[in-house]
Amino acid sequence: MGQKTHPTGFRLGIIKDWDSKWYANKPAQYRELLQEDIRIRAAVISQLPEAGISKIELERGAHELVVNVHAARPGIVIGRGGQRVEDLRKTVESMTHKTARLNVQEIRQPELDAQLVAMSIAEQLQRRVAFRRAMFQSVNRAMQAGALGVKIICSGRLGGIEIARQEKVMQGRVPLHTLRANIDYGLAEARTTFGRIGIKVWIYLGDILPQQNESDVEIEDEELGLIEITVGGEEQTPTNEIQIDQNEPIDVETETQVEITEENQDVTAEEN
């Protein structure tokens, strides 16, 4: 049996971060805050279905709640004169009984966002577009936008047939077991007249390597003990090695004289 896990949850604390950031002292408080987060996300998405919302991040302070909305169309979220954002903020404050602050962030490349790609395929399936055409178009757009690999799986009564099946389209490489691989994952459902069709999308955006601190690099240089030599008549750092001038000839006679005297001493010792 396959041991499958969520790509984002698998990388939490390594290269991915949590979407909700808060602390609960008791289990009962944890349950309340978790259910509150689910209600807030559902309310925001239901009020702005056409804004292309990919992710909603929540940060709870002692007296304030910060909501970061990542959307492909931030103008729809903000509204004319910021009216829709203000209405949304009042809705969140009525649900949480805390002062809320909303931040809207634009998604520059929606073709590389797995959740938005899955939502666009689901929307096309609801408009009775051929599922293979929708999948191949999304894969080609993501690869042209700079993705290193894309995988899309559609499951359900594809094409309206009675027996449900699964279709997969893949291009490039998607290393799911590599923890440093930045893989974006999205899930969406298409509500068609003949049932629901599930769409899963994996997009490989490259590797995230750990960064070295400057202090660590300086310590490594000190441990190596590199010898610095300046050329051009400037002062040279003293070294323990013997410096030999290439222009001076090596005196070979002293070495031969020493060898001859040692042989003479051996001969005299044998005669005695």
249 versus 145: which is more confidently predicted? 145
Kindly list the structural domains of the chain, giving each domain's residue range(s) and its CATH number in brackets, ordered by start: 7-108 (3.30.300.20), 111-207 (3.30.1140.32)
Res 14: pLDDT: 92
What is the pTM for the complete model shown? 0.76
pLDDT, mean of residues 57-70: 93
- The whole-angstrom distance between residue 36's C-alpha and the CA centroid of its chain comes to 28
Q: What confidence tens digit (pLDDT) does each residue in 201-237 have?
A: 999 999 998 776 666 656 655 555 555 556 665 555 5
| DSSP 8-class letter at 11 | T
Comparing 114-128, 141-155, 208-222, the range with the smallest average pLDDT is: 208-222
**Strands, E assignment, the chain:** 20-21, 53-60, 64-71, 99-106, 149-156, 165-172, 181-192, 195-207
H-type alpha helices, 150-252: 214-224
